[in-house]
Amino acid sequence: MQPPESSSTDVTNADIEGSIAEVEQTLVALKQRYAQIESDRQRKAELKYRLEEIRPQLSNNKLPALQAELKEIKTQLETIEVSLESQLFTIDVFKEPFWQAVRFGGLGIVVGWILKSCAS
């Protein structure tokens, strides 16, 4: 009987611990992003409600304060829209699928060349 190799076990354990830590960090970042999205959605709903309250008042009288508030609400809504869109699509989301496609696409081309050369 041979004694088990402790160095390969240590490397494997270190790899597993590193992967777990990476997954935990990704989960924390995902939870934060989700909380921000929910907060932005709630704020967007509140602003739209306030916008609908102001519009009838603005049509009756053209108060500068109401016009300024209306402009501020529209600016905040635009900012929230951009924030929601940018949080849903980040470059990190596309990195892994891109490299998987490159890896397996390249592998498919190499296998195709080998098969073609064997068949000829």
Residue 5 pLDDT > 70: no
Tokens, residue 83: 């924030």
User: What does the pLDDT read at residue 2?
Assistant: 52
Global pTM value: 0.52
For 69-107, the pLDDT digits (tens) are 888 888 888 888 877 776 555 556 566 777 777 777 888
On the question of pLDDT at 10 being above 80, the answer is no
What φ, ψ does residue 5 adopt, rounded to 5°? -80, 115
Give the domain ranges of the chain. Answer: 6-89, 94-120
Question: In the prediction, which pLDDT does 87 show?
Answer: 59
- By the 8 A CB rule, do 66 and 58 touch? yes
Sole residue written with tokens 């990190």: 92
**pLDDT per position as a tens digit, 12-71:** 888 888 888 888 888 888 888 888 888 888 988 888 888 888 777 777 777 787 788 888
